[in-house]
């Protein structure tokens, strides 16, 4: 897997590098995972993998090249402040994903219990009285 950075811009306001890249994955024969790309990109940028967040990776049909976008932050705090939650979730390893739902589980309050019904004596349905008939004269 070879990564070629096609465009790189420094965003001073958000304290990050915005990167577009191409991945040639003829050796691996399949689109590499976000984690593999993340580690390789961090190695290329000479930074920690925890600071790199892959936004998008798409392989063009019939080719062994994928294009993508990523952001490399200066600090983890800055990344967590700016990146949407779903991007952070996509970029976390599978082992960490399994642990997080257990930590975040919040028990919902139990549903309200129906009040016990008091036994009532049911009367048989009474027939409605028939209206009086008119007498013919």
Q: What is the pLDDT of residues 20-37, one digit of tens each?
A: 999 998 887 888 899 999
Indicate yes or no: pTM above 0.85: no
Q: Which residues of the chain have pLDDT under 70?
A: 96-106, 108-111, 114-126, 128, 136-137
Topology, domain 2-93: Alpha-Beta Plaits (3.30.70)
Counted residue by residue, the chain has a size of 137
pLDDT tens for each residue of 73-89: 999 999 999 999 999 99
What residues contact residue 16 under an 8 Å CB cut-off, 6+ apart? Answer: 71, 72, 73, 74, 78, 79, 82
How far from the centroid of its chain's Cα atoms is residue 133's Cα? 74
CB of 14 closer than 8 Å to CB of 82: yes
For residues 114 and 1, what is the distance between their CA atoms, to the nearest angstrom? 62
């Amino acid at each position: 897997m070879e990564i070629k950075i096609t465009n790189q811009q420094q965003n001073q306001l958000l304290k990050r590098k915005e990167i577009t890249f191409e991945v040639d994955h003829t050796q691996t024969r399949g689109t590499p995972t976000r984690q593999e790309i993340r580690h390789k990109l961090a190695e290329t940028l000479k930074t920690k993998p925890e600071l790199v967040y892959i936004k998008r990776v798409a392989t063009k049909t019939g080719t062994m090249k994928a294009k993508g976008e990523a952001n490399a932050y200066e600090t983890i705090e800055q990344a967590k402040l700016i990146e949407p939650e779903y991007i952070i979730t996509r970029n976390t390893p599978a082992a960490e994903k399994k642990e997080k739902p257990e930590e975040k589980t919040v028990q919902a309050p139990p549903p309200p219990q129906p009040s016990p019904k008091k036994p009532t004596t049911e009367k048989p349905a009474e027939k409605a009285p028939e209206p009086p008939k008119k007498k013919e004269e």
